[in-house]
Structure 1
Amino acid sequence: MNMGASMELGDEDLDAVIKLVRSHTGIAMNGTKRVLLQGRLLPRMRAVGSASYRDYIETVRRGGAEVTRFVDAVTTNDSAFFRTPAVWWYLSDEFLPTWQARMTARMNARPLRIWSAAAATGEEAYSLAMICLEFQRRHPSFRFAIEGTDISSQALEAARAGVYRGRTVERFEATRPELFQRYLEGGPERYTVAPALRDHVGFAPHNLLEAPPSVARYDLVMLRNVLIYFDEPHQQRVLAQVRKAMCPGAKLILGEQESITRLNTAFAFEQAHVYHIDEEAA
């Protein structure tokens, strides 16, 4: 493959790539992503031997294994342990005690089910497992299961491995040293999540535009920092699918830059980041 000056992504090919991104992921991109897409697609073009963007676009259009690699290349997998502290205080201090009290009052011993949607490389799902295990230390009868999903096979592979290094580990150690010591093993350059976390967390592929990943419904859905990548019609489609996955009384947690109050959805605002099913709209 000749990687010369002609490897700039022209307008026609850029439009074609943007349409491919939307058709396979629902993510809305525009011309401002030209440089980003060039940087992410060139390694894939080298890998498959495409002489031009047009050739590579046709390869993706034909389907097969390269579609998965294309999705991996164009999606952003940004995650961190205990991102947005207010969310984690809410879950620890309000959500878990309230849920457990309700189950106790009903004499219902079923596990809490949590969905970490767009889980990226797994830090959020493992953070959830940590706060649930900490709660379980105080309430031994409490049981839980966490399912993390993502459209990127590459991100899921990293999540299943549960190996972390660099800034995400440094920030975790600095902000929550006790949990860091209890639930991460190894170091100093490479840390692995403890087996106790793996026992409660599973990861599976899922496109948020499609039906929910599980027949059983969830008590808590984490859908953080993903709606910002969709246009409004796709946001509503994602939220409709998420609603199908939630049981009565379930909570939906969004990212700090996301609000859905302007949309026609089945959700009502409860407090910063937190939404519940609006029974009147549902």
Structure 2
Amino acid sequence: MELTQRDFQRLSLFIYQKLGIKISDSKRTMLQGRLGKRLRALKLSCVEDYCEYLFSPQGEQMEHVHLFDVVTTNKTDFFRESGHFDYLTSQVLSSWQAGHRHGRRFRIWSAGCSTGEEPYTMAMVLNDYAQQHPGFDFEIIATDISTRVLDHARTAVYHKERIAPVAEQLRKRYLLKHKDSGNELVRISPDLRKKVRFGRLNFMDSTFQLPDKVDVIFCRNVIIYFDKTTQEKLVGKFCHHLKDDGFLFLGHSESLHGFSVPLHQVAPTVYRLI
């Protein structure tokens, strides 16, 4: 299976237009390897045949979502960049509760949720906070473009190795062990699962809508895959979906330096809507 320059250019342009992800020549081998999965699944012998199918009316209906699944990177962990969750409880929630004592539900969006570790971490943290602050209620929206990772997230089942960052007291409260002691899978408790709503969303859609505006957006280690122009447009969309004085959390390698957006930095990689 050889990825010719012509096919690489067609595919990389298509991926950029649809996903906002720019695939440079240095990542050509990576793209070729990932496409191999789809060629085998479709029993196609070359990338040229795959492109013909991808850009056909049938491919538009059936294959685009599978290509997006293999192209996107899905690296995540429970309590990844844990300082963000400390800031959420110590700063954001205390400020939010001071201004919202009329029973309004706190809404948070995990934008680029991958296999679910981030939104379920949110659920653990927010549920602990709710137990200490009677009357506090919350809802988590979790989205990703990949149907594959969303299917995994909805099952809420993880191998024991994946939960290593979760504190022991949280494991006891929120993780269910298998009845078979030899089975190393655990599942998120039903009470937490019902707090998270998963859905597919493509950031590159000209308009995307959430049911309601949110108080906080976590979009961490996602915009690094976009060029600066696309990053700024996306952050502008995020601002539209934030409530007044809402917060945006980015990954520690990401920055809004030079962006014309109504946000000001309040902590490392934490921004507040002006």
Give the TM-score normalised by structure 1: 0.90
Q: Which runs of 5+ in 1 are unaligned?
A: 1-6
Give me the whole-angstrom Cα distance separating, in 2, the residues matched to 1:116 and 1:213: 14
Show the counterpart of 1:3. Answer: none
Counting aligned pairs with the same residue, the percent is 33
Worse overlay, 202-211 or 252-261: 202-211
Matches within 5 A, 1:100-179: 100-104=97-101, 108-165=102-159, 167-172=161-166, 176-179=167-170
Letter in 1 for 2:184: E
Pair 1:222-2:211 in alignment: no
Cα shift at 1:129: 0.7
Any conservation in 1 of the 2:249–2:270 contact (CA below 8 Å)?
Answer: yes
Tell me which of 186, 189, 196 is aligned to 1:194. 189
Show the counterpart of 2:64. Answer: 67
Any conservation in 2 of the 1:209–1:237 contact (CA below 8 Å)?
Answer: no
Worse overlay, 9-18 or 254-263: 9-18
Letter in 1 for 2:232: Q
Letter in 2 for 1:185: L
Show the counterpart of 2:272. Answer: 276
Cα shift at 1:166: 5.2
Show the counterpart of 1:32. Answer: 26
Give me the whole-angstrom Cα distance separating, in 2, the residues matched to 1:40 and 1:128: 31
Letter in 2 for 1:209: M
Q: Which runs of 5+ in 2 are unaligned?
A: none
Cα shift at 1:101: 1.8
Show the counterpart of 1:93. Answer: 90
Cα shift at 1:10: 2.3
Give me the whole-angstrom Cα distance separating, in 1, the residues matched to 2:23 and 2:160: 29
Show the counterpart of 1:9. Answer: 3
Give me the whole-angstrom Cα distance separating, in 2, the residues matched to 1:186 and 1:31: 45
Worse overlay, 207-216 or 66-75: 207-216
Any conservation in 2 of the 1:218–1:250 contact (CA below 8 Å)?
Answer: yes
Any conservation in 2 of the 1:206–1:213 contact (CA below 8 Å)?
Answer: no
Q: How many residues align?
A: 266
Give me the whole-angstrom Cα distance separating, in 1, the residues matched to 2:211 and 2:160: 37
Letter in 1 for 2:196: V
Give the TM-score normalised by structure 2: 0.93
Runs of 4+ in structure 1 off by over 2 angstroms are: 209-213
Pair 1:49-2:46 in alignment: no
Cα shift at 1:77: 1.0
Letter in 2 for 1:204: G
Give me the whole-angstrom Cα distance separating, in 2, the residues matched to 1:12 and 1:28: 16
Give me the whole-angstrom Cα distance separating, in 1, the residues matched to 2:128 and 2:160: 25
Any conservation in 1 of the 2:75–2:114 contact (CA below 8 Å)?
Answer: yes
Give me the whole-angstrom Cα distance separating, in 2, the residues matched to 1:124 and 1:237: 24
SS of alignment partner, residue 100 of structure 2: helix
Any conservation in 1 of the 2:112–2:219 contact (CA below 8 Å)?
Answer: yes
SS of alignment partner, residue 260 of structure 1: coil
SS of alignment partner, residue 132 of structure 1: helix
Give me the whole-angstrom Cα distance separating, in 1, the residues matched to 2:154 and 2:86: 26
Tell me which of 247, 257, 262 is aligned to 1:261. 257
Deviations 1:125-148 (A, max 9, x none): 011111110001111200010000
Give me the whole-angstrom Cα distance separating, in 1, the residues matched to 2:105 and 2:243: 13
Pair 1:183-2:174 in alignment: yes
Pair 1:238-2:234 in alignment: yes
SS of alignment partner, residue 171 of structure 1: coil
